[in-house]
Structure 1
Amino acid sequence: MDTLLSITTDRLELIPATHAMLAADLNGHDALRRLLHADVPTKWPPTLLDETVRKAFCQMAEEPSDPHFAFWYWILRGADTGERTLIGSGGITAIRGEPGTVGIGYSVLDAFQGRGYATEAVGALLPVIFELPGVVRIQATTSPDLPSSIRVLEKTGFIYAGTKEEGEGIEEGTLSYLLDG
Protein backbone atom coordinates (compact mmCIF):
# COMPACT_ATOMS: atom_id res chain seq x y z
CA MET A 1 0.00 0.00 0.00
CA ASP A 2 1.24 3.48 -0.76
CA THR A 3 2.18 5.63 2.17
CA LEU A 4 -0.94 7.14 3.66
CA LEU A 5 -1.02 10.53 5.35
CA SER A 6 -2.58 11.46 8.66
CA ILE A 7 -6.10 12.87 8.40
CA THR A 8 -7.19 15.74 10.60
CA THR A 9 -10.84 16.43 11.46
CA ASP A 10 -12.36 18.96 13.85
CA ARG A 11 -11.58 16.80 16.89
CA LEU A 12 -9.48 13.89 15.70
CA GLU A 13 -6.21 12.96 14.07
CA LEU A 14 -6.34 9.66 12.17
CA ILE A 15 -2.84 8.24 12.06
CA PRO A 16 -2.04 5.51 9.51
CA ALA A 17 -0.62 2.50 11.32
CA THR A 18 2.86 1.27 10.62
CA HIS A 19 4.06 -2.26 11.33
CA ALA A 20 5.95 -0.85 14.34
CA MET A 21 2.74 0.66 15.75
CA LEU A 22 0.77 -2.54 15.25
CA ALA A 23 3.55 -4.57 16.90
CA ALA A 24 3.69 -2.10 19.80
CA ASP A 25 -0.08 -2.43 20.18
CA LEU A 26 0.48 -6.10 21.01
CA ASN A 27 3.21 -5.45 23.57
CA GLY A 28 1.80 -2.97 26.07
CA HIS A 29 0.97 0.69 26.02
CA ASP A 30 4.36 2.37 26.53
CA ALA A 31 5.76 1.82 23.04
CA LEU A 32 2.43 2.60 21.38
CA ARG A 33 2.15 5.77 23.46
CA ARG A 34 5.57 6.92 22.22
CA LEU A 35 4.86 6.10 18.58
CA LEU A 36 1.47 7.85 18.56
CA HIS A 37 2.55 10.75 20.78
CA ALA A 38 -0.70 10.20 22.66
CA ASP A 39 -2.04 8.81 25.91
CA VAL A 40 -3.18 5.20 25.60
CA PRO A 41 -6.01 4.54 28.08
CA THR A 42 -5.70 1.52 30.35
CA LYS A 43 -8.90 0.13 28.74
CA TRP A 44 -7.23 -0.04 25.30
CA PRO A 45 -8.03 -1.87 23.02
CA PRO A 46 -11.77 -1.72 22.33
CA THR A 47 -13.65 -4.98 22.79
CA LEU A 48 -13.90 -5.84 19.09
CA LEU A 49 -10.17 -5.29 18.57
CA ASP A 50 -9.03 -8.36 20.46
CA GLU A 51 -5.54 -9.86 20.41
CA THR A 52 -6.33 -12.24 17.54
CA VAL A 53 -7.46 -9.36 15.32
CA ARG A 54 -4.48 -7.18 16.27
CA LYS A 55 -2.05 -10.06 15.53
CA ALA A 56 -3.65 -10.53 12.11
CA PHE A 57 -3.31 -6.81 11.37
CA CYS A 58 0.33 -6.88 12.44
CA GLN A 59 1.00 -9.83 10.13
CA MET A 60 -0.84 -8.13 7.24
CA ALA A 61 1.33 -5.03 7.66
CA GLU A 62 4.51 -7.11 7.82
CA GLU A 63 3.69 -9.32 4.83
CA PRO A 64 1.63 -7.09 2.55
CA SER A 65 -0.34 -9.67 0.56
CA ASP A 66 -3.49 -7.51 0.67
CA PRO A 67 -2.95 -4.44 -1.53
CA HIS A 68 -5.80 -2.62 0.20
CA PHE A 69 -4.98 -3.29 3.85
CA ALA A 70 -4.83 -0.01 5.76
CA PHE A 71 -5.44 0.83 9.41
CA TRP A 72 -5.67 4.11 11.29
CA TYR A 73 -5.43 4.94 15.00
CA TRP A 74 -7.88 7.65 16.09
CA ILE A 75 -6.44 10.30 18.39
CA LEU A 76 -8.73 12.76 20.20
CA ARG A 77 -7.07 16.17 20.31
CA GLY A 78 -7.84 18.37 23.32
CA ALA A 79 -8.92 21.72 21.86
CA ASP A 80 -7.61 23.82 24.73
CA THR A 81 -5.18 21.51 26.50
CA GLY A 82 -3.24 20.00 23.62
CA GLU A 83 -3.78 16.56 25.18
CA ARG A 84 -3.89 13.64 22.80
CA THR A 85 -5.75 10.42 23.64
CA LEU A 86 -6.13 7.21 21.64
CA ILE A 87 -9.88 6.53 21.50
CA GLY A 88 -10.46 4.21 18.56
CA SER A 89 -9.33 2.82 15.26
CA GLY A 90 -10.51 1.65 11.89
CA GLY A 91 -9.27 0.06 8.74
CA ILE A 92 -9.92 -1.70 5.49
CA THR A 93 -9.07 -4.98 3.78
CA ALA A 94 -9.80 -6.33 0.32
CA ILE A 95 -12.77 -8.67 0.05
CA ARG A 96 -11.88 -11.89 -1.75
CA GLY A 97 -13.84 -12.57 -4.87
CA GLU A 98 -15.14 -9.01 -5.08
CA PRO A 99 -12.70 -6.94 -7.13
CA GLY A 100 -12.79 -3.25 -6.28
CA THR A 101 -14.54 -3.84 -2.95
CA VAL A 102 -12.95 -3.35 0.45
CA GLY A 103 -14.41 -4.10 3.84
CA ILE A 104 -14.26 -1.43 6.52
CA GLY A 105 -14.26 -1.97 10.26
CA TYR A 106 -13.97 0.40 13.19
CA SER A 107 -14.12 0.44 16.97
CA VAL A 108 -14.21 3.05 19.73
CA LEU A 109 -13.42 2.60 23.41
CA ASP A 110 -16.61 2.41 25.50
CA ALA A 111 -15.78 5.60 27.42
CA PHE A 112 -15.77 7.60 24.17
CA GLN A 113 -18.86 6.15 22.48
CA GLY A 114 -22.00 8.16 21.79
CA ARG A 115 -20.14 11.41 21.00
CA GLY A 116 -19.98 11.19 17.21
CA TYR A 117 -16.29 10.27 17.00
CA ALA A 118 -16.88 7.16 14.87
CA THR A 119 -19.10 9.09 12.46
CA GLU A 120 -16.48 11.84 12.21
CA ALA A 121 -13.63 9.37 11.63
CA VAL A 122 -15.43 7.11 9.15
CA GLY A 123 -16.69 10.15 7.25
CA ALA A 124 -13.11 11.43 6.96
CA LEU A 125 -11.76 8.04 5.86
CA LEU A 126 -14.24 7.44 3.04
CA PRO A 127 -12.82 9.92 0.50
CA VAL A 128 -9.30 8.67 1.22
CA ILE A 129 -10.38 5.06 0.71
CA PHE A 130 -12.10 5.86 -2.57
CA GLU A 131 -8.90 7.53 -3.80
CA LEU A 132 -7.01 4.23 -3.47
CA PRO A 133 -6.38 2.59 -6.85
CA GLY A 134 -9.15 0.23 -7.89
CA VAL A 135 -11.51 0.83 -4.95
CA VAL A 136 -15.08 1.40 -6.16
CA ARG A 137 -17.14 -0.02 -3.27
CA ILE A 138 -16.90 -0.26 0.50
CA GLN A 139 -18.73 -2.94 2.45
CA ALA A 140 -19.38 -2.84 6.18
CA THR A 141 -20.95 -5.47 8.36
CA THR A 142 -22.27 -5.04 11.86
CA SER A 143 -24.33 -6.87 14.40
CA PRO A 144 -28.02 -6.01 14.65
CA ASP A 145 -27.29 -5.63 18.39
CA LEU A 146 -25.10 -2.56 17.73
CA PRO A 147 -27.49 0.29 16.90
CA SER A 148 -24.75 2.91 17.31
CA SER A 149 -22.67 1.18 14.62
CA ILE A 150 -25.70 1.06 12.34
CA ARG A 151 -26.21 4.81 12.88
CA VAL A 152 -22.57 5.51 11.96
CA LEU A 153 -23.02 3.65 8.68
CA GLU A 154 -26.31 5.34 7.85
CA LYS A 155 -24.98 8.81 8.71
CA THR A 156 -21.95 8.29 6.46
CA GLY A 157 -24.04 7.22 3.45
CA PHE A 158 -23.95 3.43 3.56
CA ILE A 159 -27.05 1.63 2.27
CA TYR A 160 -28.45 -1.48 3.94
CA ALA A 161 -27.81 -4.50 1.68
CA GLY A 162 -29.31 -7.36 3.68
CA THR A 163 -28.54 -9.90 6.36
CA LYS A 164 -25.76 -12.41 5.81
CA GLU A 165 -26.83 -16.03 5.75
CA GLU A 166 -24.81 -19.07 6.78
CA GLY A 167 -21.95 -19.85 4.42
CA GLU A 168 -21.64 -16.36 2.96
CA GLY A 169 -18.17 -15.81 4.39
CA ILE A 170 -19.26 -13.32 7.03
CA GLU A 171 -20.67 -14.19 10.42
CA GLU A 172 -24.24 -15.39 10.06
CA GLY A 173 -26.86 -12.84 11.07
CA THR A 174 -24.69 -9.76 10.55
CA LEU A 175 -26.10 -6.83 8.64
CA SER A 176 -24.37 -5.79 5.43
CA TYR A 177 -24.06 -2.19 4.27
CA LEU A 178 -22.59 -0.90 1.00
CA LEU A 179 -21.27 2.42 -0.28
CA ASP A 180 -20.36 2.94 -3.92
CA GLY A 181 -17.71 5.47 -4.89
Structure 2
Amino acid sequence: MAFTPLRTSRLVLRPFTEADAEDFAARRSDPETAMYQAWRIPYSVEKAMALIEESERHDGPMPGHWYQLDVQRIADERTVGDVAVYLHEHGHTAEIGYTLHSWARRKGYATEAAAALIDHLVDVTGVHRVEASTHPDNERSIQVLKRLGFEAEGVKREAFWVEDEVSDDAIFGLLARDWRSRRDLLGI
Protein backbone atom coordinates (compact mmCIF):
# COMPACT_ATOMS: atom_id res chain seq x y z
CA MET A 1 0.00 0.00 0.00
CA ALA A 2 1.38 3.41 -0.95
CA PHE A 3 2.13 5.95 1.77
CA THR A 4 -0.79 8.33 2.27
CA PRO A 5 0.39 11.95 2.54
CA LEU A 6 0.07 13.54 5.98
CA ARG A 7 -1.77 16.84 6.30
CA THR A 8 -1.63 19.55 8.92
CA SER A 9 -3.41 22.90 8.91
CA ARG A 10 -0.64 24.43 6.74
CA LEU A 11 1.43 21.56 5.37
CA VAL A 12 1.38 18.34 3.37
CA LEU A 13 4.05 15.71 3.95
CA ARG A 14 4.29 13.49 0.90
CA PRO A 15 6.76 10.97 -0.51
CA PHE A 16 9.61 12.40 -2.57
CA THR A 17 9.49 12.14 -6.34
CA GLU A 18 12.20 12.68 -8.93
CA ALA A 19 10.78 16.16 -9.53
CA ASP A 20 11.98 17.12 -6.02
CA ALA A 21 15.67 16.42 -6.73
CA GLU A 22 16.80 19.93 -7.71
CA ASP A 23 15.06 21.61 -4.78
CA PHE A 24 16.41 18.97 -2.38
CA ALA A 25 19.98 19.37 -3.69
CA ALA A 26 19.73 23.17 -3.47
CA ARG A 27 18.49 22.98 0.14
CA ARG A 28 21.29 20.60 1.12
CA SER A 29 23.86 22.80 -0.67
CA ASP A 30 23.05 25.84 1.45
CA PRO A 31 26.01 26.39 3.84
CA GLU A 32 23.76 27.43 6.76
CA THR A 33 21.56 24.36 6.27
CA ALA A 34 24.53 21.99 5.98
CA MET A 35 26.42 23.42 8.98
CA TYR A 36 25.36 20.71 11.45
CA GLN A 37 24.54 17.93 9.00
CA ALA A 38 26.15 14.73 7.79
CA TRP A 39 26.69 15.79 4.21
CA ARG A 40 29.27 17.92 2.41
CA ILE A 41 28.42 20.75 0.08
CA PRO A 42 27.77 21.20 -2.68
CA TYR A 43 25.17 18.44 -2.62
CA SER A 44 24.66 17.23 -6.17
CA VAL A 45 21.38 16.57 -7.95
CA GLU A 46 22.75 13.08 -8.64
CA LYS A 47 23.09 12.42 -4.90
CA ALA A 48 19.58 13.76 -4.39
CA MET A 49 18.25 11.44 -7.12
CA ALA A 50 19.94 8.42 -5.53
CA LEU A 51 18.38 9.21 -2.15
CA ILE A 52 14.97 9.78 -3.74
CA GLU A 53 15.20 6.53 -5.71
CA GLU A 54 16.04 4.62 -2.51
CA SER A 55 13.05 6.17 -0.76
CA GLU A 56 10.75 5.43 -3.74
CA ARG A 57 11.46 1.70 -3.35
CA HIS A 58 9.40 1.69 -0.15
CA ASP A 59 5.74 2.39 0.45
CA GLY A 60 6.51 4.13 3.73
CA PRO A 61 8.85 3.80 6.69
CA MET A 62 10.44 0.32 6.83
CA PRO A 63 12.88 -1.12 9.39
CA GLY A 64 16.48 -0.61 8.37
CA HIS A 65 15.87 2.23 5.89
CA TRP A 66 15.58 6.00 5.86
CA TYR A 67 12.34 7.31 4.35
CA GLN A 68 12.11 10.93 3.16
CA LEU A 69 9.02 13.10 2.90
CA ASP A 70 8.76 16.40 1.09
CA VAL A 71 7.08 19.13 3.15
CA GLN A 72 4.93 21.55 1.14
CA ARG A 73 2.84 24.54 2.15
CA ILE A 74 -0.79 23.95 1.30
CA ALA A 75 -1.38 27.60 0.43
CA ASP A 76 0.98 27.66 -2.58
CA GLU A 77 2.34 24.08 -2.87
CA ARG A 78 5.87 25.42 -2.33
CA THR A 79 8.34 23.03 -0.71
CA VAL A 80 9.53 24.37 2.65
CA GLY A 81 11.76 21.40 3.47
CA ASP A 82 11.74 17.71 4.25
CA VAL A 83 11.44 15.28 7.14
CA ALA A 84 13.00 11.85 7.36
CA VAL A 85 12.45 8.76 9.47
CA TYR A 86 14.58 5.70 10.12
CA LEU A 87 12.87 2.69 11.68
CA HIS A 88 15.15 0.50 13.73
CA GLU A 89 15.16 -3.26 13.26
CA HIS A 90 11.98 -4.27 15.08
CA GLY A 91 10.07 -1.09 14.32
CA HIS A 92 9.64 -0.11 17.98
CA THR A 93 12.09 2.77 17.73
CA ALA A 94 12.31 5.47 15.07
CA GLU A 95 14.80 8.25 14.47
CA ILE A 96 13.60 11.46 12.85
CA GLY A 97 15.23 14.43 11.20
CA TYR A 98 14.11 17.60 9.45
CA THR A 99 15.64 20.18 7.16
CA LEU A 100 14.08 23.44 6.03
CA HIS A 101 15.00 26.03 3.45
CA SER A 102 16.56 29.05 5.16
CA TRP A 103 13.63 31.27 4.09
CA ALA A 104 11.16 28.84 5.74
CA ARG A 105 12.71 28.82 9.21
CA ARG A 106 11.24 30.44 12.33
CA LYS A 107 7.67 29.99 11.10
CA GLY A 108 6.86 26.80 13.02
CA TYR A 109 7.07 24.52 9.97
CA ALA A 110 9.68 22.16 11.47
CA THR A 111 7.62 21.68 14.64
CA GLU A 112 4.40 21.20 12.66
CA ALA A 113 5.91 18.74 10.18
CA ALA A 114 7.77 16.74 12.84
CA ALA A 115 4.59 16.58 14.96
CA ALA A 116 2.64 15.13 12.02
CA LEU A 117 5.37 12.55 11.43
CA ILE A 118 5.53 11.60 15.12
CA ASP A 119 1.75 11.28 15.21
CA HIS A 120 1.90 8.88 12.26
CA LEU A 121 4.74 6.88 13.79
CA VAL A 122 3.00 6.50 17.15
CA ASP A 123 -0.59 5.99 16.00
CA VAL A 124 -0.18 4.18 12.67
CA THR A 125 3.23 2.51 12.76
CA GLY A 126 3.08 1.65 16.47
CA VAL A 127 6.45 3.12 17.39
CA HIS A 128 7.20 3.10 21.13
CA ARG A 129 10.15 5.51 21.11
CA VAL A 130 11.21 8.35 18.81
CA GLU A 131 14.81 9.55 18.81
CA ALA A 132 16.62 12.52 17.34
CA SER A 133 20.20 13.68 17.45
CA THR A 134 21.89 16.92 16.55
CA HIS A 135 25.09 18.85 17.04
CA PRO A 136 25.03 20.32 20.57
CA ASP A 137 25.43 23.84 19.11
CA ASN A 138 22.34 23.53 16.87
CA GLU A 139 20.09 25.53 19.20
CA ARG A 140 17.24 25.99 16.71
CA SER A 141 16.87 22.26 16.19
CA ILE A 142 17.13 21.62 19.94
CA GLN A 143 14.32 24.13 20.54
CA VAL A 144 12.10 22.28 18.04
CA LEU A 145 12.76 19.01 19.85
CA LYS A 146 11.99 20.55 23.24
CA ARG A 147 8.71 22.06 21.94
CA LEU A 148 7.74 18.57 20.79
CA GLY A 149 8.46 17.11 24.24
CA PHE A 150 11.76 15.36 23.55
CA GLU A 151 13.99 14.88 26.57
CA ALA A 152 17.73 15.51 26.40
CA GLU A 153 19.35 12.17 27.12
CA GLY A 154 22.99 13.13 26.92
CA VAL A 155 25.84 13.92 24.60
CA LYS A 156 27.99 11.32 22.94
CA ARG A 157 31.44 12.85 22.79
CA GLU A 158 33.22 12.80 19.43
CA ALA A 159 30.74 10.27 18.09
CA PHE A 160 29.52 11.89 14.86
CA TRP A 161 31.78 11.72 11.83
CA VAL A 162 31.49 13.58 8.54
CA GLU A 163 34.37 12.33 6.43
CA ASP A 164 37.46 13.12 8.55
CA GLU A 165 35.83 15.58 10.97
CA VAL A 166 34.33 14.49 14.29
CA SER A 167 31.89 16.29 16.58
CA ASP A 168 29.77 15.57 19.60
CA ASP A 169 26.22 14.26 19.13
CA ALA A 170 23.38 15.44 21.40
CA ILE A 171 20.79 12.69 21.88
CA PHE A 172 17.07 13.25 22.49
CA GLY A 173 14.24 10.81 23.09
CA LEU A 174 10.44 10.84 23.23
CA LEU A 175 8.23 7.96 24.37
CA ALA A 176 4.87 7.32 22.72
CA ARG A 177 2.97 7.76 26.00
CA ASP A 178 4.69 11.13 26.57
CA TRP A 179 3.85 12.19 23.01
CA ARG A 180 0.17 11.35 23.48
CA SER A 181 0.06 13.55 26.59
CA ARG A 182 2.09 16.30 24.90
CA ARG A 183 0.03 16.49 21.72
CA ASP A 184 -3.11 17.02 23.76
CA LEU A 185 -1.45 20.03 25.37
CA LEU A 186 -0.24 21.29 21.96
CA GLY A 187 -3.71 20.84 20.50
CA ILE A 188 -2.49 18.49 17.77
The TM-score, its normalising length taken from structure 1, stands at: 0.71
Deviations 1:9-53 (A, max 9, x none): 121111133xxx0x3333x46xxxxxxxxxx9x954563474447
Residue 84 of structure 1 is aligned with which of 58, 77, 84? Answer: 77
Deviations 1:26-83 (A, max 9, x none): 3x46xxxxxxxxxx9x95456347444763453243378x7244321111122xxxx2
Q: Name the amino acid aligned to 1:106.
A: Y
Q: Name the amino acid aligned to 1:71.
A: Q
SS at structure 2 position matched to 1:5: coil
Gap change, CA 1:159 and 1:105, over 3 Å in 2: same
Deviations 1:79-133 (A, max 9, x none): xxxx22101110101236x762111011000011111110111112111011344
Q: Which residue of 1 aligns with 2:185?
A: none
2:135·2:167 contact (CA, 8 Å) conserved in 1?
no
Query: 1:164 deviation in Å?
Result: 1.6
SS at structure 1 position matched to 2:168: coil
Which range is displaced more, 120-129 or 4-13? 4-13
- Tell me, yes or no, if structure 1 residue 126 matches structure 2 residue 118: yes
Q: Which residue of 1 aligns with 2:15?
A: 16
Query: 1:167 deviation in Å?
Result: 5.2
Which range is displaced more, 134-143 or 100-109? 134-143
| Counterparts of 1:161 and 1:57, CA distance in 2 | 31
| Counterparts of 2:12 and 2:91, CA distance in 1 | 30
Q: Which residue of 2 aligns with 1:151?
A: 143
**Count of matched residue pairs:** 158
Gap change, CA 1:127 and 1:134, over 3 Å in 2: closer
Gap change, CA 1:144 and 1:54, over 3 Å in 2: farther
The TM-score, its normalising length taken from structure 2, stands at: 0.69
- Tell me, yes or no, if structure 1 residue 110 matches structure 2 residue 107: no
Q: Which residue of 1 aligns with 2:181?
A: none
Q: Which residue of 2 aligns with 1:58?
A: 53
| Counterparts of 2:72 and 2:104, CA distance in 1 | 11
Q: Which residue of 1 aligns with 2:87?
A: 94
Q: Which residue of 1 aligns with 2:3?
A: 4
Gap change, CA 1:164 and 1:132, over 3 Å in 2: farther
Q: Which residue of 2 aligns with 1:25?
A: 20
SS at structure 1 position matched to 2:157: coil
Which range is displaced more, 102-111 or 54-63? 54-63
| Counterparts of 2:9 and 2:54, CA distance in 1 | 32
Q: Which residue of 2 aligns with 1:74?
A: 71
| Counterparts of 1:100 and 1:131, CA distance in 2 | 12
SS at structure 1 position matched to 2:78: strand
* Structure holding more strand per residue: 2
